[in-house]
Chain A
């Protein structure tokens, strides 16, 4: 009885089988993941996706069947999220990131790193000079909880002891190490996230951390303990401060993208910079993990000043080499 068919009906009849096949594959991916597909089916997926996409394009032009257009819209949407997604495993992402992407990004943002180093350095210098001139200022720079008794009222002897033994009542070395990691990572993440409030907060955070460091240094310096103090702080400090500086640089990049959007729109620029800067923070978190281990374990067990200095130099060389060499493309 079918004397004549609509063009859109004919079009649908020709392609419906491929749509249904794609639908079936997507249903399985939704239920049990991409891994449940065989190699052959996996190869079919993008082919069917492009086919459905072209069907949608044609249907919009020739068909007035609303249901078909809506169905294709949904089908292609479901296929799109499966086809255009991150396909590597969590571990692969981590390895690729550490071996290439992280140092590349740090090189890319070297001016931001420099700026945030300067801010931290300025904070340290200010804290140092101010505390040296007027020891009372120490209390406004350093949080009582962090100082843990290491303040101007302490005797030189107890300060010296603090450099060699950690008086930690309820935890061993390992606990202390992980506490430090968590504490420092929080500061790092904060440095980045605060970049969204156009970067001013990042300056504040970097500067106050510098003040604290400077105040500490001045306190120990005034007791003639400078050499031991830097031996105490640098083995982990180089790694830790670099990581904090990197987080600060990421925050600055974020703030900069909002204030000076450049050629593209503000939101697009924020999105692009945000991804890159966020990656730097993740890399810094890895560094802080290492710093926490050195600080919590190594520092409590090794008390020889020359060994502490050589470890400090070794970590410095390691990081400089890493950021300089890793991830460069071979020509």
Chain B
């Protein structure tokens, strides 16, 4: 498949395969406002990752700088110790030479080394729970990691050097060149702030993107739970009543039922609204417990109804969606 064809496939999958994009207004989950990155692994099932925020990326970078600083200090201390032992000029020179190379390697290849070793994570990224992945959904290869980290030089090391000493540009460069360096630093360092996936120059060159480590826990199936409890008094809903809502409302209700401490007032309010909307003819639930039971059985009935229609190829996205005629 060509690259363009693949991109189209991902887009198409995004349109059809993903559940409602609009999160609930009451229970704005922690995913709200966070950009999702859709990738297509070789198996062809689209996956979404949460793009790491600017704060997380900046924080990880600072932590890595601190780590580099600590490593450099540690190495220097060790070498200082060795150098102070024998009074040989040769060893002293050798140590100085090795130290120079170690500093260079640490400064330039710290990120590359850890990202190759830990599958796209450095010390800072590990602590903050983010990682590098391939933006096209392929394997994160070593050469992508190398390329994305070589660009750090042009992103901040070089402009910083120019600001501190404009002479690095050419002998006799005027001090005003420091301003050019500052402008450069600002433009390249702020690039992640101006694209939705927060990619820096290195990410563009390496074809990578930094995302949060996905984590989600499997909770109990609400459909089973309500089956046992609601069977006692049995709220029964007619097919016409279940035609009212769509997938979006069902999943908002799911979030309400799964909330750690659902407020009694909110539950009552939602139950009241549902009763009104579906023109519930039975007795409206009065106690908090009855409300919970009512909502659970409604959830179960509604889910059964919508899933049955789903099997027939009719997906009703939300309550205002026109009935699908196919």
Task: Give the B-binding residues of A (Cβ under 8 A).
Answer: 1-2, 5-9, 12, 16, 19-20, 23, 50, 53-54, 56-57, 60-71, 73-78, 80-82, 84-86, 88, 90, 93, 140, 142-144, 171-175, 177-179, 181-182, 185-186, 189-190, 192-194, 196-197, 208, 254, 264-265, 267-268, 270-272, 274-279, 281-282
Name B96's contact: one of A70, A171, A281 (CB within 8 Å): A171
B253 CB to nearest A CB, Å: 10
- Of the candidates A65, A70, A77, A196, the one having the most CB atoms from chain B within 10 angstroms of its own CB is A77
Tell me if B268 is interfacial: C-beta within 8 Å of chain A.
no
- Among A6, A19, A56, A267, the residue within 8 A (CB) of B307 is A6
* B164 within 8 Å of A (CB atoms): no
Interface assignment of B93: CB less than 8 Å from any CB of chain A: yes
Residue in B19, B204, B221 whose CB lies within 8 Å of A270: B204
Instruction: Tell me if B119 is interfacial: C-beta within 8 Å of chain A.
Output: yes
For the complex, is B3 an interface residue (Cβ under 8 Å from A)?
yes
Whether B100 pairs with A178 at a CB distance below 8 angstroms is yes
A194 to B155, CA, bound (A): 10
| B213 pairs with A65, CB closer than 8 A | no
Majority DSSP secondary structure for residues of B touching A: helix
B143 interfacial by beta-carbon distance below 8 Å: yes
CB<8 Å pairs between A and B, sample of 22? A5-B224, A53-B45, A56-B47, A60-B17, A64-B303, A64-B307, A77-B49, A77-B214, A81-B131, A82-B119, A90-B113, A179-B100, A265-B3, A267-B204, A271-B205, A272-B207, A275-B205, A275-B206, A278-B150, A279-B143, A279-B147, A282-B150
Chain B residues with CB under 8 A of A171? 93, 96-97
Cα–Cα, bound, A274→B200 (Å):
14
Q: Are B311 and A277 in contact (CB under 8 A)?
A: no
Across the interface, do B311 and A71 meet the contact criterion of CB distance under 8 Å? no
Known: A86-B139, A254-B205. 4 other contacts (CB 8 A): A57-B45, A190-B158, A264-B3, A270-B205
Are A193 and B146 in touch, CB under 8 angstroms? no
Q: By the criterion CB–CB under 8 Å, are A75 and B108 in contact?
A: no
Residues of B with C-beta under 8 A to A194: 154
User: Tally of A-B residue pairs with Cβ under 8 A?
Assistant: 227
Residues on A with beta carbons closer than 8 Å to the beta carbon of B255: 66
Contact A175:B146 (CB < 8 A) given known A77-B214, A185-B104: no
Q: How far is the CB of A290 from chain B (nearest CB, A)?
A: 13
Q: In this complex, what residue of A is CB-closest to B94?
A: A174
Contacts of A277 in B (CB 8 A): 147
Q: When the two chains form their complex, are residues B201 and A196 in contact, meaning their CB atoms are under 8 A apart?
A: yes
Cβ of A67 to closest chain B Cβ, rounded Å: 5
Q: Report yes or no: B119 in contact with A81, Cβ–Cβ below 8 A.
A: yes
Q: Tell me the complex Cα distance, A266–B158, Å.
A: 25
How far apart are B196's CB and chain A's nearest CB, in angstroms? Answer: 13
Q: Does B144 contact A (CB under 8 A)?
A: yes
A271 and B206 form a contact (CB under 8 A): yes
Contacting A at CB under 8 A, from B210-265, are 213-219, 221-224, 227-228, 231, 247, 250-251, 254-255, 258
Q: Which residues of B contact A76 (CB under 8 A)?
A: 45, 47
**Do B171 and A9 have beta carbons less than 8 Å apart?**
no
- B117 in contact (CB, < 8 A): yes
CA distance A19 to B221 in the complex (A): 15
CB pair B4 A77 closer than 8 Å: no
Name the residue among A54, A193, A274 with the largest chain B CB count within 10 angstroms: A274
Closest to B140 in A: A85
Residue from the list B48, B135, B218, B224 in contact with A9, Cβ < 8 A: B224
